[in-house]
Amino acid sequence: MTNTEIIEIFRLVGQLMELHEENPFKIRGYQNAVFNLEKCTQDLSILSQAELESIEGIGKGIAAKIIELNTTGSFKEFAEFTAKTPQGVIEMLNIKGIGPKKVRTIWKELSVQTKEDLLAACNENKVSQLKGFGEKTQESIKLSLQFAEAHKEKFLYAEVEKIALNLEKTLKEKLKLETVSVSGDIRRCLEVVETIQLIIGSDETEKVLDQLNKISNLEKDVKTSGPFAWRGTEKISGAKTEIKIYPRKKFAAELLIHSSSKNHLLSEGKGETILQSLRKKDFSSEKEIYESIGFPYIIPELREGLNEIELARENKLPQLVAYQDLKGILHNHSTYSDGMHTLEQMAVYCKELGFEYLGISDHSKAAFYANGMHEKRIIEQHEEIDKLNKKMAPFKILKGIESDILNDGELDYADNVLASFDFIVASVHTNLKMSEEKATARLIKAIENPYTTILGHATGRLLLKREGYPIDYKKVIEACAANNVSIEINANPRRLDMEWKWIRYALEKKIMIAINPDAHEMEGYWDMHYGVQVAKKACLTKEMTLNALTLKEIEAYFLKKKSAFLK
């Protein structure tokens, strides 16, 4: 089992014990275990009993349960509490805004055992009548359930990208064909995906279908499949999968059709739409299709029917930012707040990846839930940074902070503390239930603070988990432009916030964009891959990417920003 799977099982057992009103001391034991295991950087699946007991905060009992979990896939309390709890009630524990105690009240007093029954109870105004609930809680539950229903059977791009690409590779090898490609939403790099789609160009349909039926992680749906379309499920992810087979001569055209939005296909080239053009003859490649209508090749990420055709027609398609253009990584966390790895570990790994600098930005003190740093610890961290910078030169750690934007729009810390940082990422983490007017005013006040360098995850959204708070994007972006504040593309695949469509508007306003991983562990740096992909959809260039600046350039940029108001 992975560390994440083990931690989630312990978290669930703690919730189930609270649901069943077990001894609070035992419940706290599981909660503490989760807290301590989340900080562990070792692989829990291979550690011995003694090695597990040596982890801070992990005693003999928890260590034994981890061993049993790795050996049998379960342990006594896990089996006991899951057996006596309806599956639907367990699923209700994932509803945002209600904890185990409220779930128990709903279960026992309304006899509700599924999310569907809970939604019905909300619609019948039964939940608001329960003690400790009220109309606001009922409405919050209802919205959470409706959001979950609307997004069920959808996946984050990051959850299916590798699976789809591996499937493409397997089919190329098995079929000895190059005319196999991922298509659809995955090829366009959309943040959320419903179906894994591939296109195959082959004149041997039966051979292709035979190979598809032999792939162990694919399960065919006979009812929806046809003679030229295999449909079913990819077993590892559970995602719906669709693989269409076309004659080889039609491969390029069909790949373009299935890798473009409808608006892109209906855009006009030489007096006719792209779709009409590619129906006239056969093409050897997508590049040839675009050339036939007088356009340069348009990458799938841009085929959204926005302004890519106008840019192509005028030969003004930009040279988009690439991963190799990035010189440093900003917005990262260490064990000084809620990160899994030490400052030195984060810095060393960043240097090993070939970057010139690391921008460390642990949580500020208002984020007590994330071990936010009080002023004394800031001094300690800055002293360690100075020592590490001498040791690791020419690589450099830049002193940053992720300062909470407080409810009134002020930044966490006094001005003299804010002035001690090289850069400041300003983010909202609390009181997320705001009107558009409130959220917009809160962000703009923080943006207008002269110490703010980067606006972090602008809407606080968590894809497939919660919608972001509503904001007036234009007003927020225009405030960033007026105050020389960069905007973050938070590369965490569950955030990808600010949304790429609005990054385009930010670029119109000449705002620098930072592609930030918000890494809480060393492996989190690899999320930059997803940030670059959505940055391409936003038409972001190297020149407008903040962390594509060299160390010397970004130091000068930060200094100029601070000097403007410190004179």
In the DSSP assignment, the letter for residue 469 is P
CB-based burial of residue 64 (10 Å sphere; 0-12 exposed, 13-18 middle, 19+ buried)? middle
Residues 18 and 70 in one domain: yes
The answer to whether 513 touches 324, Cβ cutoff 8 Å, is no
pTM of the complete model: 0.87
Is the preceding peptide bond at 498 cis, omega within 30 degrees of 0?
yes
C-beta pairs of 508-511 under 8 Å, 24+ apart in sequence = 509/477, 509/478, 509/480, 509/481, 510/481, 510/544, 511/477, 511/480, 511/481, 511/485, 511/486, 511/487, 511/544
How confident is the model at residue 481, as a pLDDT? 98
The answer to whether 355 touches 327, Cβ cutoff 8 Å, is yes
For residue 8, CA distances in Å to 12, 340, 493 come to 6, 16, 19
C-beta pairs of 433-441 under 8 Å, 24+ apart in sequence = 433/140, 433/469, 434/469, 434/470, 435/470, 436/470, 436/471, 436/472, 439/469, 439/470, 439/471, 440/471, 440/472, 440/475, 440/476, 441/409
CATH code, 231 = 3.30.460.10
Of 226, 265, 260, which is closest to residue 243 (Cα–Cα)?
226
Residues 421 and 435 in one domain: yes
Number of structural domains, the chain? Answer: 4
Residues 350 and 333 in one domain: yes
Does an H or E element contain 182, and which? strand 180-183
Residues 312 and 340 in one domain: no
Residues 158 and 145 in one domain: no
The answer to whether 466 touches 96, Cβ cutoff 8 Å, is yes
Residues 194 and 251 in one domain: yes
Q: Which residues pair with 279 in a beta bridge?
A: none
Does an H or E element contain 239, and which? strand 239-246
pLDDT in tens, 71-129: 999 999 999 999 999 999 999 998 887 899 999 999 999 999 999 999 999 999 999 99
Residues 361 and 464 in one domain: yes
CA–chain centroid gap for 362, Å, is: 19
CATH code, 97 = 1.10.150.110
Residues 221 and 370 in one domain: no
Report d(CA 215, CA 116) in Å as an integer: 35
Q: At what angle do helices 24-38 and 3-19 cross, to 10 degrees?
A: 160
pLDDT in tens, 258-275: 999 999 999 987 778 999
Residues 404 and 519 in one domain: yes
Query: Reduced to 3 states, what is the DSSP secondary structure of residue 245?
Result: strand
Domain boundary among 228, 244, 259: 259
Residues 391 and 424 in one domain: yes
Residues 161 and 62 in one domain: no
CATH code, 279 = 3.30.210
How confident is the model at residue 86, as a pLDDT? 94
Query: 42: domain range?
Result: 3-151
Q: Which residue in the block uniquely carries the two structure tokens 């409810």?
A: 407
Domain boundary among 317, 333, 354: 317
Of 94, 43, 93, 39, which is closest to residue 66 (Cα–Cα)?
43
Mean pLDDT by 10 residues, the chain (567 residues): 90 96 93 89 90 91 94 94 95 89 95 94 94 91 89 93 96 95 98 97 95 93 95 94 97 97 90 87 95 94 95 94 98 94 97 98 95 96 98 98 98 96 97 96 98 98 93 98 98 97 98 97 96 97 98 97 76
CATH code, 380 = 3.20.20.140
How confident is the model at residue 562, as a pLDDT? 86
Q: Which residues pair with 405 in a beta bridge?
A: 411
Residues 120 and 237 in one domain: no
- What are the residues whose beta carbons fall under 8 Å from the beta carbon of 80, sequence distance 6 or more? none
